[in-house]
């Protein structure tokens, strides 16, 4: 009896020790609730958060994440329901062990033997989906055909988990999917494991996102989820969130003085000051119900906007600082404004006339509209190049939505992209060298649609066509990048991503 009492007491001490070890480290770091070593660790892990870049540097030790128990360092948030985790990540050095690991993790508990699922990249490049079905069970693995992935995504819908991975700049490869019940409330986050008890490894995590998607019951185009305005560095592909709202924010333009973004929300246009991270409503006079088709003139003095006050969307021009809007389109159908000519004399827009949507041009000073496209199906998103010689647009005429180009007078219409996706809204960089556009997946979206709340890419390519690189992987769609959003120096773009989380949940630092 005495020995049994000693054993029970010892067990309670051990349990208390590890409980104290875990909960002593529950303090917020970035978007996460806390961080801790999982299992018995010889060299404690650490996490450093850079609020300006929104980057996490994580150091971890531990023997492995395998068999019936784990040892690693975990940076986590408690969450329930459906979600999507995503990050760009890489080790900071060559390291010692071929099976050192970093990745995304979902766990039922913080115990070493917890049921879990993770998307993991090993030191030798092996990228896989690993999971333990129940506490103390053996870990299983599904290997990806992608080696040395730099972009990781793990999504839960009900009790179904899907892993998507890619090398930086590439589309996601074939997904890995399993059904696994980890319970409603789970710990989600990023991790590092050295695969050697005597070694500490370090990895850097950028673009860390915990996305709560739109619920299945959401009424499309009547109900909305929250929005984040992000600024993306086109060289590093790292983005940072500068503003969040539980409302729908859409289509940020970057002003020519580099000081502000202009976006729309609930029918109102806003000037977002990048120095103070604060928005201010823009007076657009009688144009009260503005949508996400608005463009700044090349000289930075004017906006062309689209407003549907009690009828079809109509084109207007208004001073960029606000004032009375002047009507410029008079067609019998809707007009969605997309581009100014560099000399300020013309506007191009998508017009619905007689059930067909085509590209039109109209003089800013007033006059008859000219129809530039006549192909059956949707032609949309027209935008001038900075030299005024060409107009880029997107068209469904070849089957899927693709990027096209025409001369400034509407002639020589030429297809620029030709892949197995739906590509929308080409935007030409101010230096005239590159184009960014948004890509919808054909298994999610019909060619002629660009809805809210989908898995999308933002891609870049040379202005004449050629190699296309993914610069952003996100949950968004309509309103993400409908209008020109390059910074004046062609080094950044602004875009909108979406999540259902109530805000503010992300620590925002001023520029």
State the Cα–Cα distance between residues 151 and 459, nearest whole angstrom. Answer: 15
Q: Is residue 10 pLDDT above 60, yes or no?
A: no
Read off φ and ψ for residue 479, nearest 5 degrees.
Answer: 90, -10
Output the CA torsion 170→173→178→180 (10° steps). Answer: -10
State the Cα–Cα distance between residues 300 and 134, nearest whole angstrom. Answer: 60
* Average of per-residue pLDDT across 122-150: 98
Indicate the DSSP class of residue 3. Answer: H
Question: For the chain, how are helix, strand and coil distributed in percent, rounded to 5?
Answer: 5, 45, 50
Owner of token pair 């999308």: 456
Residue 318 has what pLDDT?
A: 98
Q: How confident is the model at residue 25 (pLDDT cuts 50, 70, 90)?
A: low
Residue 330 has what pLDDT?
A: 93
First to last CA, the chain: 66
Q: Exposed/middle/buried for 221, CB within 10 Å: 0-12, 13-18, 19+?
A: exposed
Coil, helix or strand at residue 7 = helix
Q: How confident is the model at residue 332 (pLDDT cuts 50, 70, 90)?
A: confident
Q: Is residue 19 pLDDT above 50, yes or no?
A: no
Tell me: the pLDDT tens digits for 357-393? Answer: 999 999 999 999 999 999 999 999 999 999 999 999 9
Tell me: the pLDDT tens digits for 218-251? Answer: 998 899 999 999 999 999 999 999 999 999 999 9
Q: Which residues contact 199 (CB under 8 A, 6 or more apart)?
A: 43, 61, 96, 97, 100
Q: Is residue 323 pLDDT above 60, yes or no?
A: yes
pTM: 0.94
Domains contained in the chain, CATH given = 26-211 (2.60.120.200), 226-499 (2.120.10.30)
Residue 309 has what pLDDT?
A: 78
Owner of token pair 């299983």: 140
Read off φ and ψ for residue 9, nearest 5 degrees.
Answer: -65, -40
């Amino acid at each position: 009896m005495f020995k049994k009492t000693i054993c029970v007491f010892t067990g309670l001490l051990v349990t208390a020790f590890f409980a104290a070890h875990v909960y002593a480290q529950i303090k917020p770091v970035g978007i996460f609730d806390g961080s801790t070593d999982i299992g018995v660790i010889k060299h404690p892990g650490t996490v450093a958060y850079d609020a300006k870049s929104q980057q996490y540097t994580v150091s971890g030790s531990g023997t492995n994440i395998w068999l019936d128990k784990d040892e690693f360092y975990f940076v986590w948030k408690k969450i329930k329901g459906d979600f999507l985790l995503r990050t760009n990540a890489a080790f900071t050095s060559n390291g010692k062990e071929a099976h050192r690991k970093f990745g995304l993790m979902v766990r039922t508990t913080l115990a070493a033997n917890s049921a879990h699922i993770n998307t993991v990249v090993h030191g030798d490049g092996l990228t896989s989906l690993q999971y333990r079905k129940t506490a103390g069970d053996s870990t299983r693995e599904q290997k990806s055909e992608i080696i040395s992935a730099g972009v990781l995504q793990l999504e839960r819908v009900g009790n179904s988990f899907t892993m998507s991975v890619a090398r930086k700049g590439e589309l996601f490869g074939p997904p890995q999917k399993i059904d696994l019940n980890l319970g409603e409330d789970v710990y989600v986050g990023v991790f590092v494991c050295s695969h050697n008890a005597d070694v500490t490894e370090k990895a850097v995590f950028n673009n860390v996102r915990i996305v709560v998607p739109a619920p299945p019951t959401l009424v499309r185009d009547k109900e909305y989820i929250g929005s984040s305005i992000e600024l993306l560095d086109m060289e590093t592909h790292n983005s940072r969130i500068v503003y969040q709202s539980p409302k729908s924010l859409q289509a940020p333009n970057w002003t020519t003085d580099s000081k502000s973004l202009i976006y729309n929300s609930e029918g109102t246009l806003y000037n977002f000051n990048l120095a103070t991270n604060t928005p201010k409503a823009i007076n657009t006079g009688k144009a009260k119900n503005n949508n996400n088709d608005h463009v700044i003139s090349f000289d930075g003095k004017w906006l062309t906007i689209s407003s549907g006050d009690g009828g079809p969307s109509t084109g207007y021009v208004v001073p960029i600082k606000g004032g009375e809007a002047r009507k410029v389109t008079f067609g019998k159908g809707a007009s969605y404004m997309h581009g100014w000519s560099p000399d300020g004399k013309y506007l191009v827009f998508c017009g619905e006339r007689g059930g067909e949507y085509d590209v039109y041009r109209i003089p800013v000073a007033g006059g008859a509209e000219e129809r530039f496209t006549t192909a059956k199906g949707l032609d949309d998103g027209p935008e001038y190049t900075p030299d005024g010689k060409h107009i880029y647009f997107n068209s469904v005429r070849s089957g899927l939505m693709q990027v096209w180009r025409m001369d400034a007078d509407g002639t020589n219409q030429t297809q620029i992209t030709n892949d197995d996706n739906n590509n929308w809204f080409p935007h030409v960089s101010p230096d005239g060298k590159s184009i960014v556009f948004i890509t919808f997946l054909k298994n999610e979206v019909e060619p002629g649609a660009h809805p809210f709340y989908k898995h999308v890419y933002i891609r870049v390519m040379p202005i004449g066509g050629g190699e296309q690189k993914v610069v952003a992987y996100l949950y968004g769609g309509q309103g993400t990048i409908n209008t020109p959003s390059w910074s004046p120096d062609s080094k950044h773009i602004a875009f909108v991503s979406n999540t259902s989380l109530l805000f503010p949940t992300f620590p925002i630092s001023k520029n």
